[in-house]
């Protein structure tokens, strides 16, 4: 097990009494029982290495499954993509009927985008996001 280090633990009287009873019955020291209990408590609780964290399962989920909406990067307006996905799944708004062309930003989020003079999306003035 390695080098042991002395430490103090405050226990309730009842806990001490029960520990001594178990220690005597199992012919072990109270210290040994406490070490075993600590081992049981810590088993499976070690933090995962960063590379094994389940959060990494989401990496790549966005992938290249969908084209950009009017060339707007997802990182620039993630809410636009969230709203588009929600509308598409519910079959509402610009997704209510089959179309040849994908919807434009101003059709998905008219409160944030308008159609520019050249047909490109233009952010509505005063919209911060």
Between helices 30-42 and 13-26, what is the axis angle to 10°?
100
Q: How far apart are the first and last CA of the chain?
A: 56
Q: Where are the beta strands (DSSP E) in the chain?
A: 113-115, 121-123
Share of the chain above pLDDT 90, in %: 69
Helices assigned H by DSSP within 27-129: 30-42, 78-90, 105-108
Q: What is the pLDDT of residues 67-121, one digit of tens each?
A: 899 999 988 999 999 999 999 999 999 999 999 999 999 999 999 999 999 989 9
Output the pTM of the full model.
0.49
pLDDT at 64 over 70: no
């Amino acid at each position: 097990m390695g080098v042991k280090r002395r430490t103090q633990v405050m226990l309730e009287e009842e806990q001490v009494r029960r520990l001594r009873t178990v220690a005597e019955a199992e012919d072990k020291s109270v210290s040994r029982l406490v070490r075993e209990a600590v081992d049981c408590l810590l088993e499976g609780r070690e933090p995962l290495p960063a590379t094994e964290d389940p959060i990494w399962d989401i990496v790549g989920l966005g992938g290249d499954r969908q084209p950009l909406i009017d060339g707007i990067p997802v990182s620039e307006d993630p809410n636009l993509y969230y709203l588009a996905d929600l509308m598409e799944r519910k079959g509402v708004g610009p997704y209510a009927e089959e179309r040849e062309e994908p919807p434009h930003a101003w059709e998905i989020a008219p409160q944030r985008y308008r159609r520019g003079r050249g047909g490109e999306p233009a952010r509505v003035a005063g919209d911060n996001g």
